[in-house]
A and B are shown apart, each in its own frame.
Chain A
């Protein structure tokens, strides 16, 4: 039944992007926060760690890149139509 197929596809993509991306964002936040240092909630101090901080930033950028790619994918037809620009020339439409 094609309904089940579509539903399954939407569920999988939904889980990957809808739950996965926030999770990666959260990991980035943990890394950035540990990297930035400061005072924890329980009063203990945390030393700054630049490597972790940059890892956090990297993860944020990754999430942003996925989002931009997704939007470009959705609007691919529009971009081709109005600007003659195909963001995914290697994928046949």
Chain B
């Protein structure tokens, strides 16, 4: 029972990290151009994510069946060869892998896919628990890898077309009016992206929690038909809303300032492209990573405007991080599983194993957060000039200040 509570807390923590990691997808462009003040933007995004999470009525028990082969496809229950204890540990380890990767990439201000982090963690834990038979490889290919490659390309194309059209059409409009008009448009499109993010991403955590509850027998009946208990929906919606409101300023900064120096028309085209693609893909049943789409769109808006500056070095660094996400999160998930399983075999206590990895998660999370505070990026300096010499997410003056405080080099 305690393990279940710890697991649910960890799942909500993942949802929280998912929230702040993805705030930038909707709001970075609006914050960068001044269409919205930073605090207003994250408040708006937080509320819309909360609303969006409630709007989705489809049950997301499929999120774990997409990548793992641990459930009966009809009932969603664990297959007989897996004990509930192992099942819970797999989920637990998967979440831990996802959270740690999310935190690491946040520290470096790298926009990366929370979906992939979670999938990676689960795949790693599944591999550690069951070997290659535990992973749904065709699901991984069709639902994770193919969309991951297609999404940024589609987004880049669409945003580039939109940006080019928009600049061409309005070239005769007074600059002031253009800025103002597009700022309003930015608010509308950014809100759409935040809403669609809420409908998409909270589902992942709901699915994971549902699986855990099915495993322990707390959730019976046909979840597909009856829907999920309200408290699961409510807590996941709240977690993602709060996370969004906290605002991953480091990621927002990279998206808004690091990749492309953005003007209002580009911001509008980028968010419109993101919104259209996210919504149409979920309607088509092909779940794309909102981060991949948003980043592709922002890059496209840089490509589409003649004379815009695109920092391909930053984009390249991000692409590497994306490639590494699945394996890295998988590795962490596998390590977490082995550690917990090892302790469980030694002591015979499930709680010792899962409790240990939970404590390690808390410790590592705190450490990463603490490192971030030493070179803080928040709503005050999120729009500071980008340091092109280092391409570090930390503004140059904050870097200097922290170097003076401590002789050793920080992150």
Does B242 sit at the interface, judged by CB under 8 A? no
Task: Give min CB distance, B266 to chain A, whole Å.
Answer: 10
Residues in B with CB closer than 8 Å to A32 are: 181
Q: How many residues of B contact A (CB 8 A)?
A: 51
Contact yes or no, A18 B170, CB < 8 A: no
Contact yes or no, B158 A74, CB < 8 A: no
Contact yes or no, A19 B165, CB < 8 A: yes
Contact yes or no, A26 B169, CB < 8 A: yes
Q: Tell whether A10 pairs with B142 under 8 Å between CB atoms, given A29-B173, A78-B56, A78-B57.
A: no
Does A90 sit at the interface, judged by CB under 8 A? no
Contact yes or no, B157 A23, CB < 8 A: no
Contact yes or no, B56 A18, CB < 8 A: no
Considering only CB atoms, which chain B residue lies closest to A16 in the complex? Answer: B276
Contact yes or no, B275 A18, CB < 8 A: yes
Contact yes or no, B285 A33, CB < 8 A: no
Contact yes or no, B154 A11, CB < 8 A: yes
Residues in B with CB closer than 8 Å to A3 are: 142, 146, 150
Contact yes or no, B272 A22, CB < 8 A: yes
Bound state CA distance, A27 and B288, in angstroms?
Answer: 30
Q: Tell whether A33 pairs with B276 under 8 Å between CB atoms, given A23-B166, A73-B283.
A: no
Contact yes or no, A22 B58, CB < 8 A: no
Contact yes or no, A14 B284, CB < 8 A: no
Task: Give min CB distance, A84 to chain B, whole Å.
Answer: 13
Contact yes or no, B162 A23, CB < 8 A: yes
Q: Please classify the interface of chain A as helix (H, G, I), strand (E, B), loop, or mixed, using the class held by over half of its residues.
A: helix
Q: Tell whether A13 pairs with B169 under 8 Å between CB atoms, given A19-B162, A38-B174, A77-B58.
A: no
Bound state CA distance, A13 and B325, in angstroms?
Answer: 29
Q: Tell whether A22 pairs with B57 under 8 Å between CB atoms, given A30-B173, A74-B282.
A: no
Does A67 sit at the interface, judged by CB under 8 A? yes
Does B244 sit at the interface, judged by CB under 8 A? no
Contact yes or no, B174 A40, CB < 8 A: yes
User: Which residues of chain A from 48 to 91 have any CB-CB distance to chain B below 8 Å in the complex?
Assistant: 64, 67, 70-71, 73-75, 77-78, 81-82
Contact yes or no, A26 B158, CB < 8 A: no
Task: Give min CB distance, B57 to chain A, whole Å.
Answer: 5
User: Which residues of chain B from 285 to 320 have any CB-CB distance to chain A below 8 Å in the complex?
Assistant: 285-286, 288, 297
Considering only CB atoms, which chain A residue lies closest to B142 in the complex? Answer: A3
Q: Tell whether A7 pairs with B154 under 8 Å between CB atoms, given A21-B272, A29-B181, A78-B55.
A: yes
Residues in A with CB closer than 8 Å to B177 are: 29, 33, 36
Contact yes or no, A13 B280, CB < 8 A: yes
Considering only CB atoms, which chain B residue lies closest to A2 in the complex? Answer: B142
* A14 CB contact (under 8 Å) in B154, B172, B192, B196: B154
Q: Tell whether A81 pairs with B284 under 8 Å between CB atoms, given A14-B158, A18-B159, A27-B169.
A: no
Bound state CA distance, A22 and B273, in angstroms?
Answer: 9
Residues in B with CB closer than 8 Å to A23 are: 162, 165-166, 169
Does B87 sit at the interface, judged by CB under 8 A? no
Bound state CA distance, A91 and B268, in angstroms?
Answer: 31
Does A6 sit at the interface, judged by CB under 8 A? yes
* A74 CB contact (under 8 Å) in B142, B283, B285: B283
Bound state CA distance, A11 and B150, in angstroms?
Answer: 10
Does B223 sit at the interface, judged by CB under 8 A? no
Residues in A with CB closer than 8 Å to B157 are: 11, 14-15
Bound state CA distance, A15 and B297, in angstroms?
Answer: 12
Task: Give min CB distance, A3 to chain B, whole Å.
Answer: 5
Contact yes or no, B277 A14, CB < 8 A: yes
Residues in A with CB closer than 8 Å to B283 are: 73-74
* B280 CB contact (under 8 Å) in A9, A30, A64: A9
Q: Identify the 10 closest CB pairs spanning chains A and B, nearest first.
A: A18-B276, A19-B162, A18-B273, A13-B280, A17-B276, A26-B169, A19-B161, A23-B165, A14-B158, A18-B158
A7-B150, A29-B181 given; name 16 further pairs at CB < 8 Å: A7-B154, A10-B150, A10-B277, A11-B154, A11-B157, A18-B159, A18-B274, A19-B269, A19-B272, A21-B276, A22-B185, A23-B162, A25-B166, A32-B181, A70-B279, A71-B195
Q: Which residues of B contact A (CB under 8 A)?
A: 55-58, 142, 146, 150, 154-155, 157-159, 161-162, 165-166, 169-170, 172-175, 177-178, 181-182, 185, 188, 192, 195-196, 199, 265, 268-269, 272-277, 279-286, 288, 297
**10 residue pairs A–B, Cβ–Cβ below 8 Å:** A3-B146, A3-B150, A11-B157, A18-B159, A22-B165, A23-B169, A25-B185, A67-B188, A74-B279, A78-B56
